[in-house]
Amino acid sequence: MKSKGHVIQNIQAGSAAQEMGIEAGDILLAVNGKQITDVFDYQYLMQDEYVEVLIRKPNGEEWLLEIDKEYDEDIGIIFENGLMDDYRSCRNKCIFCFIDQMPKGMRETLYFKDDDSRLSFLQGNYVTLTNMSDEDIERIIRYRLSPINISFQTTDPKLRCMMLNNRFAGEALKKADRLYEAGIAMNGQIVLCKGVNDADKLERSIADLSAYAPVLESVSVVPVGLTRFRAGLYPLEPFTREDAEEVLACIHRWQRKIYQSCGLHFVHASDEWYVMAQADLPEAERYDGYLQLENGVGMLRLLLDEFEEAMEQLDKEQAGHTAAGGELSVVTGQLAYPYIQDMCGRMMEKVAGLTIHVYAITNHFFGEQITVSGLLTGQDIISQLRGKRLGGRILLPQNVLRSGEDYFLDDVTVADLEKALQVKVDIVKSSGHDFVRAVLDL
């Protein structure tokens, strides 16, 4: 077959691919006699219980392999390019775009704006619909790929064109109609900008989007992130505590209304709104299964509930003996600091000899209005911890690092941090269970 194919980077141990002799460096040419355009084609064709896979070996030999497997079973191939195609960049010039607010001189990959429906399916990224062709929509429907995550921002077509700086952005909303009619599960997002798409515009958007429920499973409302690098960009203002209270009142009112009609709370406020308004976090049931954790919706509630479970388990494990203490530091962003501080205080009360220093890092790199831990830089952590009492270890949340890597947004590595502060650094997963175990060094 005349096909460039797709380079295989690795094979999962114990997988069907390994059993069939497929190896890193091999090239996938076809599945069931069909060439693969991208990951959409591959995922769809690999669903069957019997597949024929055509592989080209490095020596030029072509192997046609017959594989019997469970329906939907992954045979364990990891490709050099996860999309198996070129990544699609965003064509919009959104007034709230975070990438436009980054300083010069950072690594090139941080400036790439993706707007790729395939990444929405694979990784949960949000797409604007403006970069999707009719063929893309048809393939999503034909292959039943879901959920698709959509950045709506507003359902007012003219306002959406203005916010995205794209004259086709309003018309693109009709693509959501096609996904809805085909029963493709979706999640939505509204990046709220003060004086632009809030207040009555937010009311309209929630009302319009609620008509898509329950196919549209959730809509998150998140405040626009404003860095200190906004010279020449659309003038946006930060939200105040009073603004946050109004946003929450609107969302809670719609939650009650929509829950009565379809059993979903549907629209959710990200954690920043509750912290900004100094309001209590909702109980777990109101997050409908935490559909938008990666968007900062319910992360604090889940962390606190998991922490409670871990503390109960600690009581059982401690029966008859006392857990060992020690001195260490916990680093977090300004947003989660009050919650982390309270958790650490409770652990020190329970565990004899345990001393925890909790440090909230101010984001000088991007600006003090950026309060989430996932946007902290190594240089800010180093400068604000140098000379402080740290103990024997520093615990950092996993989201401060690029996925699968050991460096921060500013390319400072974990090793650089340890060298600068002369203390061991432990990276902790985002669950309350992992946090408790990491503090106690279990």
Does the pLDDT at position 320 exceed 80? no
The verdict on residue 29 lying in a domain is yes
Alpha carbon 344 to chain centroid, angstroms = 26
Looking at the fold, whether 315 and 265 belong to one and the same domain comes out as no
What percentage of the chain has pLDDT greater than the value 70? 95
The verdict on residue 277 lying in a domain is yes
The CB density around residue 13, as the number of other CB atoms within 10 Å, is 7
Looking at the fold, whether 310 and 362 belong to one and the same domain comes out as yes
For the entire predicted model, the pTM comes to 0.87
Looking at the fold, whether 289 and 309 belong to one and the same domain comes out as no
Residues 411 and 414: their CA atoms lie apart, in Å, by 10
Looking at the fold, whether 105 and 246 belong to one and the same domain comes out as yes
The verdict on residue 90 lying in a domain is no
Alpha carbon 432 to chain centroid, angstroms = 18
End-to-end CA distance of the chain: 55
**DSSP annotation string for 187-213:** EEEEEE-TTTTSTHHHHHHHHHHHTTT
Looking at the fold, whether 166 and 284 belong to one and the same domain comes out as yes
The CB density around residue 374, as the number of other CB atoms within 10 Å, is 16
pLDDT per residue as tens digits for the range 393-423: 999 999 999 777 899 999 999 999 999 999 9
Q: How many CA atoms lie within 13 A of 306 on its CB side?
A: 16
Domain total for the chain?
3
Does the pLDDT at position 323 exceed 90? no
The verdict on residue 249 lying in a domain is yes
Task: Report the CATH number at residue 48.
Answer: 2.30.42.10
Q: Which of 48, 79, 110 is where one domain is finished?
A: 79
Does the pLDDT at position 116 exceed 90? no
Looking at the fold, whether 127 and 244 belong to one and the same domain comes out as yes
Distances (CA, A) of 200 to 57, 195, 222, 265, 341: 61, 10, 16, 20, 37
The verdict on residue 150 lying in a domain is yes
Find out whether 93 and 165 touch, Cβ atoms under 8 Å.
yes
Task: Report the CATH number at residue 178.
Answer: 3.80.30.10
**DSSP annotation string for 71-89:** TT----EEESSTTSSPPPB
Distances (CA, A) of 351 to 268, 322, 344: 36, 7, 10
What is the structure's pLDDT at 245? 98
Looking at the fold, whether 306 and 287 belong to one and the same domain comes out as no
The verdict on residue 84 lying in a domain is no
Looking at the fold, whether 110 and 215 belong to one and the same domain comes out as yes
Which region holds residue 351: left if phi is over 0, alpha if psi is between -120 and 50, else beta? Answer: beta
Looking at the fold, whether 195 and 291 belong to one and the same domain comes out as yes
Residue with structure tokens 């064709």? 45
Residue with structure tokens 């699609």? 88
Task: Report the CATH number at residue 414.
Answer: 3.40.50
pLDDT per residue as tens digits for the range 237-286: 999 999 999 999 999 999 999 999 999 999 999 999 999 999 999 999 99
Looking at the fold, whether 74 and 175 belong to one and the same domain comes out as no
Distances (CA, A) of 440 to 3, 262, 323, 335: 55, 44, 8, 24
The verdict on residue 345 lying in a domain is yes
Looking at the fold, whether 49 and 140 belong to one and the same domain comes out as no
pLDDT per residue as tens digits for the range 145-163: 889 999 999 999 999 999 9
Residue range(s) defining the domain that contains residue 254: 99-295
Helices 241-262 & 200-210, crossing angle to 10 degrees?
20
Average pLDDT over residues 43-49: 86
What is the structure's pLDDT at 359? 98
Average pLDDT over residues 80-99: 85
Residue with structure tokens 């989660």? 336
Looking at the fold, whether 324 and 395 belong to one and the same domain comes out as yes
The verdict on residue 94 lying in a domain is no
Q: Which of 51, 79, 107 is where one domain is finished?
A: 79
Distances (CA, A) of 96 to 124, 153, 163, 233, 388: 20, 10, 8, 9, 36
